[in-house]
Amino acid sequence: MGKVVKYKLNGVEREALEGRLVIEAAKDVGVEIPHYCYHPALGNPGNCRMCVVEVAGAPKPQASCRTGVREGMVVSSDSEAAKRAQTSALELHLVNHPLDCPVCDQSGECGLQDYYMKIGRYQSSVREDKEHKDKRIVAGPHVMLDQERCILCTRCTRFVDNVTKTHELGIFGMGHSERIDVTPGMSLDNAYSGNVVDVCPVGALTDRDFRYKVRVWYLDKTDSICPGCSRGCSISVHANTSRPWHNDGKRVARLKPRFNPAVNGHWMCDDGRYGFSNLDADRLGKVLRLTPQKTELTWDAMAAELADVLWSAGEGLAVVASGMLSNEDWAAYKSLFLDALSVKRHYFAPEPDQVGAEDELLRKRDKVPNLKGAEALGLKSGSFGELAEELEAGKIKTLYVIERDLTRIFGERAQALQSKAGITILQGPNKYALGDSFAYRLPATAYVEEEGCFTNFEGKIGAYKKALAPIGDSKPDWEIFGLLQKALSGAKQRAAAA
Amino acid sequence: MAITVRAVARPARTFATQIYLVEVWRGLAVTFRHLFVNLFRHAMKALGIRGFLPGSVTIQYPEDPAVLGKRARTRHRLLKRDDGAPRCTACLLCETICPAKCIRITAENAPDVAVEKRAKTFDIDLGMCVFCGYCVEACPVDAIHMDADDVELSSYSRQDMIWNMPELLGDKTKVPSGPA
């Protein structure tokens, strides 16, 4: 490799490295050649014949995913001969395809539909009945398989063979009755099974979680970062807001991986992909004082009241946070709790509730996206064992909990330990198990309702954008910290006067 | 095509056009012709002489039913398959094409694997519908028609203007609520 050669693509003189696949060289200069089986991360078996192009001097059209660029080569992907070859390839793919687009979840983002509209538009010359295969096969906990829709591009089998190396899918039968099926005795149940839905160019593999929820053309797509672990995969949030009666009233319909060669490549894990069910569940929307009775306050009144509470707590203030906070949140956190209030007790370690399975592909042990951001600011976390001891000893007068469920940290002891603290404050998007036994409740936005940055375990910073409007009065965490810090000067004056 | 200018002569304002009397008389002539033709036909019909059409085109609505054209777009109707199940596969093309956004469908798994998908709920808000007929055009399975021959769609509340699936299928009669 290394030698740059000149070749002609669609009549334009181009340069590429010698031996680079024509389909990739064309993509580099913005010419898309239709393809199904070729995938940049899964290789190029050359079985779909969709990417055929005309090469001057060659007796037949050549598969551009199997042909390397040579000096002086003349390639055309849009000539009459190339188009005719592509149309024939598409017609062969559709011989047994059931054309059930109206009921297919893939429709709207389907390779067959796209290329039919782009290069097909033929009257099928096939008069025989279509071959019927099995439909609605539950391939695994997340994936539904429809053999009739399959065009046998083998992307999914290559994914389970080469990426996860779990081999749950394979090709069975021969000729007309050839089909993709789940390996006997297995189930498509690996940590990355959802990716086969993404690589499938047709509707053969579809998401069970997304099945019949929303048509894809209703979805708004926003670039985001997966908060599921410290890898921080680049994702796209697909939200359904224009037609709220779909998707059982939930706003986020699905999460899809977004290509990012530096972090996650093309993939994301199932834990992240399907782990958004709590986004709309039990959301805090109101600024509330819960004791002695439930009272709704304005943000300013709440900030003034809490500033008094925090200032008077002094040494007895402990803050429980989590790595769900963005870099911006951590900066405001440090400014408020470390610089202004000089708090000694910070607890945001992922143990015991925010750790989980780790593997070599993507998943990391810490199931929160941004512990590195806190580390970078010099924040240090104590262990929750220490916090439990100090709560038992009655050393903690005020407990400020940010985006964390105490029952998942302390288990059955949570309620008892919480009641040991004099004043308890919950800040976060969700109510969690003990949400009603706090003295104050501040609604914060979920990550899809704000923008910010996460620093992943390698120190790479990724930005996420705002996909949805905040619920109720909720504000981003950094804004809440800012409001409190602003109110602190008043609290100091009142404390001095008293 | 190049733009060209063509001068058009204005009609001359003559004495005859300025006094309007000629046009008034011509209008009245039409009115009287209808009067006498209808009078003659009514008289012939009253005398029992056959071969004469009804004298007047006026329909005594609402005492007599409205006469609709054969292609008139009226209230929607959902059709059923031979086995009695709704034809609708919940593809949501009608909901997508609807310019008034008055169709709301939610989908579910159909028990029949060959059908795959069916509508769980299918609501049309006739208070918002503009009767354009795009839903009928878009339907790939011929599940929706606008031929219920029902144009008397009024109700005492906006909620009552929403027809649900059993009502559109004809399985249930729409019972409107009374005045609030």
Q: Do B106 and A245 touch (CB under 8 A)?
A: yes
Q: Do B116 and A135 touch (CB under 8 A)?
A: yes
- The shortest CB-CB distance from A215 to any of B96, B108, B113 is to B96
What single-letter DSSP state applies at residue B47?
T
Predicted local confidence at residue A89, as pLDDT = 94
Chain A residue with CA closest to B104: the answer is: A245
DSSP string, A248-260: GG-SEEEEEE--B
Segment B82-111 mean pLDDT: 94
Q: What does the pLDDT average to over A215-243? A: 94
- Domain boundary residue, one of A66, A93, A120: A93
Domain C-terminal end among A71, A93, A115: A93
Q: What is the CA radius of gyration of chain A?
A: 28
User: Could you tell me the pLDDT band of residue B54, with boundaries at 50, 70 and 90?
Assistant: low
What per-residue confidence (pLDDT) applies to A87? 94
A103–B91 CB contact, under 8 Å: yes
CATH of the domain at A11: 3.10.20.740
Residue A21 three-state SS: strand
In a domain, A373, yes or no: yes
Task: Please determine, for residue A1, whether its predicted confidence score (pLDDT) is greater than 60.
Answer: no
pLDDT band at A220 (very low <50, low <70, confident <90, very high): very high
A397 to chain B, any CB pair closer than 8 A? The answer is no
Of A253, A259, A246, A251, which Cα lies nearest the Cα of A273?
Answer: A253
Q: Which domain holds residue A57?
A: 4-93
Structure-block tokens of residue B19: 């006094």
Residues 204-263 on A with a CB inside 8 Å of B are 211-212, 215, 217-218, 243, 245-246
CA distances A111 to A82, A116, A118, A203, A236, Å, are 18, 8, 10, 9, 20
Q: Domain for residue A220, yes or no?
A: no
- pLDDT grade, residue A281 (50/70/90)? confident
Q: Which residues of A touch B106 (CB under 8 A)?
A: 245-246
Average pLDDT, chain A: 93
Give the closest residue to A344 by CA, choosing from A301, A390, A280: A390
CB < 8 Å from A in window 39-78 of B:
none
How many Å apart are CA A228 and CA A271, to the nearest integer? 7
Q: Rounded to 5 degrees, what are φ and ψ at A396?
A: -105, 115
Query: What's the rounded Cα separation, in Å, for the pair B139 and B91?
Result: 8
How distant is the alpha carbon of residue B75 from its chain centre?
A: 8
Residue A227 in any domain: the answer is no
ipTM: 0.84
Looking at A72, A93, A114, which one is the last position of a domain? Answer: A93
- Tokens coding A59: 């007796």
Q: Residue A22 to residues A65, A66, A68, A77, B180: CA-CA distances in angstroms?
A: 6, 8, 6, 10, 72
Rounded distance, CA A313 to CA B67, Å?
82
B77-169 is classed CATH 3.40.50.2300: no
Asked whether the beta carbons of residue B116 and residue A100 sit closer than 8 angstroms, the reply is yes
- CA separation (Å) from A30 to A14, A15, A24, A217? 12, 13, 10, 25
- Which pLDDT score, from 0 to 100, does residue A497 have? 87
**What are the chain B neighbours of A245 within 8 Å (beta carbons)?**
104, 106
- Sign of the torsion angle spanned by Cα atoms B36, B40, B46, B50: negative
Domain count, chain A: 2
Q: What is the pTM assigned to this prediction?
A: 0.87
Residue B2 is predicted with a pLDDT of 80
- Cα gap A232→A210, rounded to integer Å: 23
Q: With contacts defined as CB-CB under 8 Å, which chain A residues touch B94?
A: none
Q: Give residue-wise pLDDT tens across range A397-441.
A: 999 999 999 999 998 999 999 998 889 999 999 988 888 899 999
Which chain B residues are closer than 8 Å to A133 by Cβ?
none
Categorize the per-residue pLDDT at A351 as very low, low, confident or very high, splitting at 50, 70 and 90.
Answer: confident
Size of interface A-B (CB pairs under 8 A): 34
The helix (run of H) or strand (run of E) holding residue A453 is: strand A452-455
Residue found by looking up tokens 């299928």 in the block: B169
Predicted local confidence at residue A107, as pLDDT: 93
Q: Is residue A34 part of a domain?
A: yes
Q: Is A100 on the interface with B (CB under 8 A)?
A: yes
> What average pLDDT does range A278-306 have in this prediction?
91
> In this complex, is the C-beta atom of A130 within 8 Å of any C-beta atom belonging to chain B?
no
For residue A301, the domain's CATH number is 3.40.50.740
